Amino acid sequence: MAKLTVEDLPLEGKKVLMRVDFNVPIKDGVVGDDNRIVAALPTIKYVIDHGGRAILFSHLGRIKKEEDKPGLSLRPVAERLSNLLNKPVTFVPVTEGKQLEDAIDNMKNGDVLLVQNTRYEDVKDGEYVKRESGNDPELGKYWASLGDVFVNDAFGTAHRKHASNVGIATNMPGKAAAGYLMEKEIKFLGDAVDNPERPFVAILGGAKVSDKIGVIDNLLEKADKIIIGGGMAYTFYAAKGIKVGNSLVEKDKIDVAKQILDKAGDKLVLPIDNVVADKFNNDANTKVVEGDIDDGWMALDIGPKSVEEFENVLKDAKTVVWNGPMGVFEMPNFAKGTLEIGKFLGTLSDATTIVGGGDSTAAVKELGVADKLTHISTGGGASLTYLEGKELPGIAAISEK
């Protein structure tokens, strides 16, 4: 990269603003899989070991209304980070104002501070104003004014053009650098996918349908096959006129799905059968059905025939990129599809296998298959966007050397 890196910046005694991606699963106030926190440690340690004062920014989840805020506080993340660094981390429960400014003024060299979830700025006085997610110019300018230099290590957020990554960077020209995780991810993905060994198969699943469905269109040019599973599949079912019951479908994306199906021919592989449930609960009644899903039932995992079909497509692959679980893997009764596909990828010893995304990474780790894969990326949407050959705004905004 001809971009500035953390090693190019003056750090001793400096207020070092850092964007990290601490968008991790949290249950009952406790961090689950902490892969993304662990992945940011080398850069944080480098900064504090060189006398910098590390002021960390991250988003967590998505905030659209005031009530979303309490469950999406970064406080549990500050606790986990403190344990991992084995030193205190000051958590500031606000994203702007005197409390934050005073806390920064009180920092000493080598201290670490975590600012509240940047997406708290998306809702003000009950209004969904998207100051962070809409890259409000005043917000980026304000945050930039709090520090001397900026380090962006949030690869998982690099496909977003938000105030806390792009906004801060553009207000710190010549002083915005990439962290080690950012460098590592780009190097790995670049080597693996700029000239992928073929067959090259992409697997897409998960729940961020409207975010990621557009990616498929561009991926059709690059991949030899695209497997669609998980919550992503049922918008395609709807586009094909297959009944979906109460499954996850994004109605305003059905037309896009139709266009993709027309263009894709046999490149696109959809589930043949699904595990359907009568409620969104691990204790639901379940059955396996092929094709149409009746009203009152929702597909929460792919079925055994789908697994077989997907494995058949994957068996000769030389490069596999996977983002998005094949089902609601958090519930044990709907984890089998994700587990089977993960296990199978682990057997492809000749292939480069890359898994990206917060939930996908959590899934392969929880299911014990992570160490059999070539690379676990901290970014799902980010690695897909990179794969499409598109510029990542978070990286573009980093200063050139």
Ligand X SMILES: O=C(OP(=O)(O)O)[C@H](O)COP(=O)(O)O
401 C-beta neighbours (distance < 10 Å), count: 10
Q: Is 379 a catalytic residue?
A: no
Beta bridge partners of 233: none
Q: Kindly state whether residue 271 participates in binding ligand ADP, applying the rule CB under 6 A.
A: no
Q: Kindly state whether residue 379 participates in binding ligand X, applying the rule CB under 6 A.
A: yes
Q: Which stretch of DSSP H or E encloses residue 376?
A: strand 375-377
The only residue of 300, 364, 367, 398 in contact with ligand ADP, by rule CB under 6 A:
300
Which of the stretches 229-237, 260-268, 373-381, 391-399 binds ligand X when contact is defined by CB under 6 A? 373-381
243 exposed, middle or buried (CB, 10 Å; 0-12, 13-18, 19+)?
Answer: middle
* Residues sharing a CB contact under 8 Å with residue 97, sequence separation 6 or more, in sequence order: none
Q: Kindly state whether residue 160 participates in binding ligand X, applying the rule CB under 6 A.
A: yes
- 377 known ligand binder: no
> Quick check: helix, strand or coil at residue 298?
strand
Kindly state the smallest distance separating residue 341's Cβ from ligand X, in Å.
17
Identified catalytic residue from 3, 36, 161, 175: 36
Q: How far apart are CA 329 and CA 349, in angstroms?
A: 25
- 160 known ligand binder: yes
Closer to ligand ADP by Cβ: residue 135 or 361 = 361
12 exposed, middle or buried (CB, 10 Å; 0-12, 13-18, 19+)?
Answer: exposed
Q: How far apart are CA 37 and CA 378, in angstroms?
A: 10
Kindly state the smallest distance separating residue 50's Cβ from ligand ADP, in Å.
33
Cβ–Cβ under 8 Å, residues 74 and 113: no
Identified catalytic residue from 14, 131, 208, 365: 208
The only residue of 358, 366, 386, 393 in contact with ligand X, by rule CB under 6 A:
358
Integer CA distances (angstroms), 384 to 70, 321, 362, 387, in order: 31, 8, 17, 5
Chosen from ligand ADP, ligand X, none, partner binding at 269 (C-beta under 5 to 8 Å by type):
none
DSSP notation for 79-96: HHHHHHHTS--EEES-SS
Q: Is 110 a catalytic residue?
A: no
Which of the stretches 77-85, 88-96, 153-161, 292-300 binds ligand X when contact is defined by CB under 6 A? 153-161
> Quick check: helix, strand or coil at residue 108?
coil
> Quick check: helix, strand or coil at residue 151?
strand
Kindly state the smallest distance separating residue 145's Cβ from ligand ADP, in Å.
32
Q: Which stretch of DSSP H or E encloses residue 16?
A: strand 15-19
Q: Is 346 a catalytic residue?
A: no
- 21 known ligand binder: yes
Q: Kindly state whether residue 369 participates in binding ligand ADP, applying the rule CB under 6 A.
A: no
Q: Kindly state whether residue 231 participates in binding ligand ADP, applying the rule CB under 6 A.
A: yes
Cβ–Cβ under 8 Å, residues 95 and 116: yes
Kindly state the smallest distance separating residue 174's Cβ from ligand X, in Å.
27
Q: Which residue has the tokens 């979303």?
A: 68
Kindly state the smallest distance separating residue 21's Cβ from ligand X, in Å.
5
Catalytic residues: 36, 208, 358, 381
Binding residues: 21-23, 36, 59-62, 119, 160, 212, 330, 357-360
Which positions lie near ligand ADP, rule CB under 6 A?
Answer: 205-208, 230-231, 248, 299-300, 323-325, 327-328, 330, 357-360, 380
Binding residues for (2R)-3-phosphoglycerate: 36, 119, 160
Which positions lie near ligand X, rule CB under 6 A?
Answer: 21, 23, 62, 156-157, 160, 357-358, 379-381
